[in-house]
Structure 1
Amino acid sequence: MRFFRFDAEVRRMIERFGSRKVGVSRIVRSEGLFQAGCMHFDPGGVIGFHPAGVNQLFLVVSGSGWVRDETDRVPIRAGEAVFWEAGEGHESGTETGMTAIVIEGPGLNPDEWMPPLKDR
């Protein structure tokens, strides 16, 4: 048995796209097929608007915040997820703090196994 860390203390801060107060702790990467990481947003943290490089699933595991595409901000909280397709512009942030697992990969499609959020 081996133990690993993915808490905020081992995160790499993200500065691209005008991002601030947010970093990622890498979890796994598979030869370019997919990768997963844990995003730690401090209060006031934002990942600036940018196009998704590949399909991306953003799963909020604690706290709350907002996400947006080309339009308005939409609230998101622990237990909820959002999916962006490759090339889709998006942004995410929080006023109070948020932690999210991000899974990225070209064949990713949560429609096959995740129930949709009924009010969105």
Structure 2
Amino acid sequence: MKILDIDTIVGSQTTAYGSQGVRRVRVHGGSGSAAVNIMHLAPGGRLGRHVAPVPQVLIVTEGQGWACGADGEPEALMRGQAACWAAGEEHETWTDTGMTVLIVEAQSPAQESMLGEAGRG
């Protein structure tokens, strides 16, 4: 077994879709149909508006922020909450104070999973 301190993993800055103040640490993104990332959003950070290529779920593990879906209406998010988006849904996430999130994406999620919930729209 190996223990990792994820706060010390450098990761990479994410600027896609006009994103600002976002550092990504890839957890999984190999040859399978799923990707898992940890995103650290700095105070004032934003994951810019974009279309979800597959169903995805964003789980807040630290801090608080906002997310919106296709309707553009902001919904507050805090630690322990998740936002789910269907494939093809435009969405955006931001924070005033800083936030760490776990994002899971999968092409064919199990229906009983959170990603399955996202797939149902």
- Runs ≥4 residues deviating over 4 A: none
Counterpart amino acid of residue 54 in structure 1: V
Counterpart amino acid of residue 85 in structure 2: W
Counterpart amino acid of residue 45 in structure 1: G
Identity %: 33
Q: How many residues align?
A: 114
What are the Cα deviations for residues 49-74 of structure 1, in whole angstroms up to 9, with x where unaligned? 00011111100001000000132111
Q: Give the RMSD, CA atoms, in angstroms.
A: 1.9
1:88 corresponds in structure 2 to 89
3-state DSSP class of the match of 1:10? Answer: coil
1:99 aligns with 2:91: no
2:56 corresponds in structure 1 to 56
* Native 8 Å contact 1:8 1:25 kept in 2: no
Distance 1:38 1:2 in 2: 18
Counterpart amino acid of residue 51 in structure 2: P
Counterpart amino acid of residue 46 in structure 1: R
Q: How does 1:1-120 map to 2 (within 5 A)?
A: 1-7=1-7, 9-70=9-70, 71-108=72-109, 112-113=112-113
What are the Cα deviations for residues 5-55 of structure 1, in whole angstroms up to 9, with x where unaligned? 532651211111111001210111241410101010000000110001111
Counterpart amino acid of residue 103 in structure 1: V
Per the normalisation by structure 2, the TM-score is 0.85
Counterpart amino acid of residue 75 in structure 2: V
